[in-house]
């Protein structure tokens, strides 16, 4: 029986004013996530305790980190949580695109396909999820492993609709089989592995924007980036290939209506 690996995913850089859009997260077995959650929850409760973790709040010293915290304590807490994530995550996964490249290669999609079923296709989240699904399947085949990747994403905005649209667009049976169905959705304030996904996605985005480890927390990034990775940083050749596939899928869906 194939092992089921749960991938918890978050996004960072969702504004067109950002330089990069990042879809990133962590994968592990259900048992690993159970052990992770026990340790993560304990770390959150240590004084001055917080009820949930969000990296943007830690960085800006607001929200859960708005009272009773200083920069030193926050950095210690983030480092502690990053170490917990690295102990239990089996893979880090990501899909990263420059916003300028997204506009260049996919900015004209709406001109060609304006139907309701394509509403979310002209969206970098859609593109990155589509590519990540294919990337996970290729990784499994290349490394002769046979997991079922179960994706869980944060339940905010239009992500649910986008994820469903991705799976409608994917025509390769092997990808559907490897993913074991459409992603599920949950609340990142309650589901602790989603908070670890937020930690990874935020630091990967920060790394891309800063073009390296030249910041105040390189040790945190080194820890997170030391997890075995499955991912893609989009280059022109790949973008052209995916563009062709998406336009082909859209044309096929339009012709069968």
Nearest to 46 by CA among 70, 76, 22, 72: 76
Q: Where are the alpha helices (DSSP H) in the chain?
A: 30-45, 55-60, 71-88, 99-106, 109-112, 124-142, 159-169, 173-179, 192-210, 218-225, 236-255
d(CA 92, CA 139): 13
d(CA 70, CA 171): 50
Query: Which tokens hold the place of 236?
Result: 């022109």
Distance linking the first and last C-alpha atoms of the chain: 38
Note whether 182 and 167 are within 8 A (CB).
Answer: yes
Torsion 153-155-157-158 (CA) sign: positive
Note whether 13 and 157 are within 8 A (CB).
Answer: no
**pLDDT confidence of residue 59:** 93
Note the pTM of the prediction, 2 decimals.
Answer: 0.89
Residues of the chain with pLDDT under 70: 1, 156-181, 212-217, 256-257
Exposed e or buried b per residue across 189-211, where buried means at least 16 C-beta atoms within 10 angstroms of its C-beta: eebbbbbbbbbbbbbbbbbbeee
**pLDDT confidence of residue 149:** 87
Note whether 143 and 178 are within 8 A (CB).
Answer: no
């Amino acid at each position: 029986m194939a092992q089921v690996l749960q991938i918890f995913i978050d996004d960072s850089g969702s504004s067109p004013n950002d330089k990069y859009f990042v879809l990133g997260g962590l994968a592990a077995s259900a048992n690993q996530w159970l052990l992770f959650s026990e340790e993560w929850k304990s770390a959150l409760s240590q004084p001055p305790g917080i009820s949930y973790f969000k990296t943007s709040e830690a960085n800006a010293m607001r929200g859960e980190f708005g009272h009773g915290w200083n920069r030193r304590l926050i950095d210690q807490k983030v480092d502690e949580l990053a170490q917990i994530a690295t102990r239990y995550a089996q893979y880090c996964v990501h899909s990263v695109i420059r916003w300028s490249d997204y506009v260049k290669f996919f900015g004209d999609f709406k001109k060609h396909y304006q139907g309701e079923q394509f509403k979310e296709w002209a969206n970098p989240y859609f593109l990155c999820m589509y590519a990540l699904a294919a990337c996970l399947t290729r990784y499994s085949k290349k490394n002769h492993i046979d997991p079922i990747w179960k994706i869980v994403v944060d339940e905010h905005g239009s992500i649910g609709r986008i994820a469903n649209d991705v799976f409608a667009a994917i025509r390769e049976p092997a990808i559907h089989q490897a993913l074991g169905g459409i992603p599920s959705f949950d609340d990142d304030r309650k589901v602790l592995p989603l908070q670890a996904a937020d930690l990874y996605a935020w630091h990967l985005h920060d790394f891309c924007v800063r073009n390296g480890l030249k910041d105040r927390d390189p040790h945190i990034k080194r820890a997170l980036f030391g997890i075995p990775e499955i991912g893609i940083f989009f280059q022109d050749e790949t973008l052209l290939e995916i563009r062709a596939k998406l336009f082909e899928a859209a044309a096929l869906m339009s012709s069968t209506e």
